[in-house]
Structure 1
Amino acid sequence: MNNWAEIDKSAKEWVKEAGERIRSSFNTTLSIQTKSNPNDLVTNMDKETEQFFLEKIRNTYPDHFILGEEGQGHELASTDGIIWIIDPIDGTMNFVHQQRNFAISIGIYENGIGKIGLIYDVVHNELYHAVKGEGAYMNGIKLPDLKDVPISESILSLNATWVTENKRIDPNILAPLVRDVRGTRSYGSAAIEFAYVAAGRLDGYITLRLAPWDFAAGLVIIEEVGGLTTTLDGEKINLLDKNSILVASKSIHRAILSDYVKKQLKEDYDR
């Protein structure tokens, strides 16, 4: 039987230590490379931070699996066993350009079920954390369940790539939603946007093509405050693949799907 309290304690200690290492790097010169395209950045700190976690996990929990953004973990074909899903610096572009609005994100799963979620906003020293069934917290302060607010009073985080890159769904689907909400935001870090929804700073988050390390921690935390995360089609999230993401309180999630996404899809189909 796994001691999740012990695993949670270890993970928190390692996240805080990694955060201190990242803060200490602010006055040093970063080595910056690109991955899939010129805007897909990776720094030496991304790689060093992921390696830091890999060494800690392998030495302490050698039977656990690791899925990391920088590819230093395992190649996984299933969700069997205990898996640490790690983004050492979520929001690398913000880290490089702003030295803020980035986070360490760790989701720990057992046989596909989220057990622990940790999102650490390094600059603001805000640790959002949750253990399944025990509620969600920010720096030890319990987060209340998400409130039901009308669309007209909600603030949504929207990644603008849905306007230009969603080839399957017409971007006009979300245009009425943008007009109807109180305001929109984009922080450039999926982990922070998940955390802000959980904390009530945002009422929802919509984006395309997030990888597992972008959302793994957030899924656990959002569930503990009564929120719901699915694809933009309302389907279950695939833990080992890229997904579109719709995360919000259950009422806002339901309203967006029924009154905007599915309504527009039906209108397009009927034309």
Structure 2
Amino acid sequence: MNTEERKAIYNQAKEWVLEAGKNIRAKIDDPLIIDTKSNPNDLVTTMDKETEAYFVGKINQIFPEHHIIGEEGYGDKLTSLDGTVWIIDPIDGTMNFVHQKRNFAISVGIYHDGIGEIGLIYDVMEDNLYHAKRTEGAYKNENKLAPLAQNVRFDEAIIGLNHYWLCENRLVDELVMQQFVRKIRGSRTYGSAALEFAYVAEGIINGYLTMSLAPWDIAAGIVIVNEVGGVTTDIDGATLDMLEKNSVLTCNQGLQQEIIQFIEKGRK
């Protein structure tokens, strides 16, 4: 994807994200039909479905040759990331949306032949748009984000965590994760993976670690974190599979190695 193509797609995507957010704010107090998916805490609402359908309709109209992966199933069933692929979470943080009416985001990552080209994370109720185009830096609204601090020590770091994984975790012993929490300076849980990525990019937290996320949770955030010098891998340091669920670690490169080594040592 060349610079002009990326710019044109980005401009259109930004317009749609802001419009979708405006619609959500206008309807934030309307009655919702709330269903569950994989478990009683995995919520989906009429607004999730309406928002994803909005994006799918617009993309199919303007970019019919593009492909779509969406959380609510309105997109395509893909076996590769060949071509241009939009990876969409219409409301990341649905539980927050339902219970708090805040702390949720629209997340749109656009990839071309497997490379993250565009990332947009829109904190709808705060009206903050985190956005990036590959090789062009990352921004919060109109303000360019600074490169991540590279000298943060492990015991000085504030890490975003999904605390559920401290209680039940098939990848890492829960005692290891409890030791991890004791070792770092502090942990935070925001209830939206997209916002956690945005906060890493902004420097509000130093990293984000969780044991199972889908591509739509992370696609936009990876692009944004990349543009401030961060790195995103699984908890073993391996490249993520953007068609499957992954464990996820995003932070600066030095901290990444310390965290991976700590977890690996705890496994032995």
Q: Same fold (TM over 0.5)?
A: yes
Q: 1:154-190, CA deviations, whole angstroms, 9 ceiling, x for partnerless residues? A: 1111111222332232122222221122211100100
How many correspondences in the alignment? 265
Question: What TM-score results when the alignment is normalised by the length of structure 1?
Answer: 0.95
Q: SS of 2:205's equivalent?
A: coil
**Which amino acid counterpart does residue 166 of structure 2 have in structure 1?**
V
The answer as to 2:62 corresponding to 1:60 is: yes
Q: 1:37-84, CA deviations, whole angstroms, 9 ceiling, x for partnerless residues? A: 111110000000001101110110000000000001100011111000
The answer as to 2:237 corresponding to 1:234 is: yes
List gaps (5 residues or longer) in structure 2: none
The answer as to 2:228 corresponding to 1:225 is: yes
Query: Paired residue for 2:174, among 156, 171, 174?
Result: 171
Percent identity between the two aligned chains:
55
The answer as to 2:183 corresponding to 1:158 is: no
* 8 Å CA contact retained: 1:161, 1:207: no
Paired with 1:165 and 1:9, the residues of 2 have a C-alpha distance of 42
Paired with 2:265 and 2:43, the residues of 1 have a C-alpha distance of 37
**Which amino acid counterpart does residue 140 of structure 1 have in structure 2?**
E
Q: Which residue in 2 is equivalent to 1:256?
A: 259
The answer as to 2:216 corresponding to 1:213 is: yes
Could you list the structure 1 runs, at least 4 aligned residues long, displaced by more than 3 angstroms after superposition.
Answer: none
CA RMSD of aligned residues (A): 1.0
Q: Which residue in 1 is equivalent to 2:123?
A: 121
* 8 Å CA contact retained: 1:161, 1:208: no
The answer as to 2:91 corresponding to 1:89 is: yes
* 8 Å CA contact retained: 1:91, 1:101: yes
Query: Paired residue for 1:109, among 101, 108, 111?
Result: 111
User: How big is the shift at 1:31?
Assistant: 1.1
User: How big is the shift at 1:29?
Assistant: 0.5
Q: Which residue in 2 is equivalent to 1:43?
A: 45
Paired with 2:164 and 2:29, the residues of 1 have a C-alpha distance of 32
Paired with 1:175 and 1:147, the residues of 2 have a C-alpha distance of 26
User: How big is the shift at 1:262?
Assistant: 1.7
Paired with 2:177 and 2:37, the residues of 1 have a C-alpha distance of 30
Q: Which residue in 1 is equivalent to 2:74?
A: 72
* 8 Å CA contact retained: 2:155, 2:183: yes
Paired with 2:144 and 2:61, the residues of 1 have a C-alpha distance of 31
